[in-house]
Amino acid sequence: MPGRSPQGAERTAAARSGPENRSAPEETPRRAPGPTEATPPPAEATSTEPAKPAAAEPAQPSQPAKPAKPAKPAKPAAGERRGHRRALLLTLALVAVLLLLALVSAGTGAYRIPTADVLASAQHRLGLGGAPLDRVGESVLWNVRLPRVVLALLVGASLGCAGALMQGVFGNPLAEPGVIGISAGAAVGAVAAIGLGLGFLGNWTITACAFVAGLVTVSAVYLLSRNGGKTEVVTLILTGIAVNAFAGALIGLFVFFADSGQVNQITFWQLGSLAQATWPKVLAVLPCAVAGLLVAPFYARRLDLLSLGERPARHLGIDVERLRLALILVVALLTAAAVAVAGVITFIGLLVPHLLRMANGPGHRFLVPGSALAGAVVLVAGDLAARTLAQPAELPLGVLTALIGSPFFFWLLRRTRRKQGGWA
């Protein structure tokens, strides 16, 4: 019994003190939601002052509206809209200039055709009305002028797009399709066909040999620069330089053993020209050019990520090696087809992307298709100048582009060095 009495006493004490102890913890949570425990008088909690916190509470949700200042991304959005608008305006301007140059080039020459007659003949051929020209005018326009204009458009677009892709792949503003030996390899194929007197494909022999040799040269450069399953930019460039030197030696060897007629033909082909443009040559270039120009813009976003550097691009999920291989193949397809039908034409792939970067920035979504349009504009204008500046003679197109392009590139180099201290 004495051992039970303390327990009973504890139970009775707990039963007596239970309501009091329960009320105390119940009251404290009820008072706790009040202003604070530091405010002792309950009258203040029931006074009109709680209405002020209630009025202040709607003011606090307005403060999260201040974090709406992260709506400052709206300014970059406005900048992006301005960039898209500028890119659209530049695209429309390039298309308009290209159409105008094509019309002028189609009507200009030894046999002059007014622009209205060119349009009328085109409408007649398309069944949209108009009227045909006389027999000589129709023959000159559709068998001589228009094939040359279309071929200049395709070759210029191919070289411009290839230059933008090469500069994006190598991350170097001095890169162009000739860096990895495409142009030199195609030249070796054409010179070999001329020097050896090959004719197994008739008039297509030189074109086919140049195209195949260009692709083989690119493959050789890529395989020689590959080590451990990877290719480095520096290794690709140095291998391309070595292959260019070897190709130059082969060309010199073929010229040494060729006769005078073959030497003249080799020299004329190396200078670059569209004088032999025909519809069959246009159809030969068309599949390669269209395929390359359609595929290239799909790599624009990955080129933007690659411009951050190889390591950041890999962290962002870009397979750099696969991307580089795919773009080199696209560049080889575009350049080999262009060089095969037009000879070696320089500075288009080097200058055109620089001009567009100055106009709209380095984003490849506009730069890749814009370089194709601008390259077409430059080469159509260059071919028009080559045909008309020294009439009745015709200047080599490759010589003219080099004469105009090299001083312009030197000015561009000086301008960039003066403004930002170099190309970095």
* Structure tokens that stand for 422 in this block: 């170099």
Query: Would the pLDDT of 389 be above 70?
Result: yes
CA 234 – CA 334 distance, rounded (Å):
23
Q: How large is the angle between the packed helices 74-107 and 364-388, nearest 10 degrees?
A: 20
Q: How confident is the model at residue 48 (pLDDT cuts 50, 70, 90)?
A: very low
Q: Which of 1-5, 186-190, 230-234 has the highest mean pLDDT?
A: 186-190
Element (H, E) at 231: strand 230-231
**Angle at the Cα of 347 (from 287 to 223), degrees rounded to 5?**
60
* Structure tokens that stand for 219 in this block: 């493959």
Whether 318 contacts 302, CB under 8 Å: yes
Q: How large is the angle between the packed helices 233-257 and 205-225, nearest 10 degrees?
A: 140
Cis amide linkage into residue 392, ω under 30° from 0: yes
pLDDT tens digit sequence for 104-130: 999 888 888 888 989 999 888 888 887
pLDDT at residue number 379: 94
pLDDT tens digit sequence for 345-356: 888 988 899 888
Q: What is the chain's mean pLDDT, rounded?
A: 79
* Structure tokens that stand for 359 in this block: 């106009």
Query: Would the pLDDT of 12 be above 70?
Result: no
The amino acid occupying position 252 is G
Query: Would the pLDDT of 383 be above 60?
Result: yes
Query: Would the pLDDT of 369 be above 60?
Result: yes
